[in-house]
Amino acid sequence: MSFGSLADVAWREFLKSAGAASTLPYQNVRHSTSPESAGGSPERIKAARAAMLRQWNTALEALRQAVKNPDVARPFVPYGADFQPNELVEIPACDVPAGIRAWMRGTGGWAARTGATADERRRTITIQVPAGIIP
């Protein structure tokens, strides 16, 4: 599964050189930041997030069907209309570049997409360092 249009492009470029990999199950879904990057009112962002999670559920269910021998058999628990607190977890340190501060891997909402248009929000991220980090 790839998240967002850039990841989809990367996958398609990989397939051009991979040959047999093109038979792998694959789904492209909206990136988790897409509802906020599109902007709009809080209600519009909430509706976009619900639509994104419905798309994720459909993609996950399709990929689950392709896994014939899962390591652990368990029921599919789909996302609801919004993320639940237990679904928003810290990013593992191994998934980010060396030197990234721990607070940047957390769920504290330290970054926001800003700008007057969708294009500006796609290109502009405002970072606010949490209180107590800078002496």
Phi, psi of 61 (to 5 degrees): -65, -40
Q: What is the pLDDT of residue 38?
A: 78
- Of the two residues 49 and 24, the one the predictor is more confident about is 49
Residues 128 and 71 in one domain: no
Residues 69 and 118 in one domain: no
Q: Is the pLDDT of residue 14 over 70?
A: yes
Residues 123 and 67 in one domain: no
Final residue before a domain boundary, out of 60, 83, 106: 83
Span 25-73, pLDDT tens digits: 999 999 998 898 877 788 999 999 999 999 999 999 999 999 999 999 9
Note down the domain range covering 57: 1-83
What percentage of the chain reaches a pLDDT higher than 70? Answer: 97
Q: What is the pLDDT of residue 116?
A: 85
Q: Indicate the number of domains in the chain.
A: 2
| Cα–Cα distance for residue pair 48/37, rounded to 1 Å | 10
Residues 53 and 79 in one domain: yes
For residue 43, give Cα distances in angstroms to 39, 40, 47, 67, 113. 10, 8, 6, 36, 17
Residues 5 and 31 in one domain: yes
Residues 36 and 93 in one domain: no
Q: What is the pLDDT of residue 20?
A: 64
Residues 17 and 76 in one domain: yes
Give the three-class secondary structure for 121.
Answer: helix
H-run or E-run covering 7: helix 5-18
Residues 54 and 114 in one domain: no
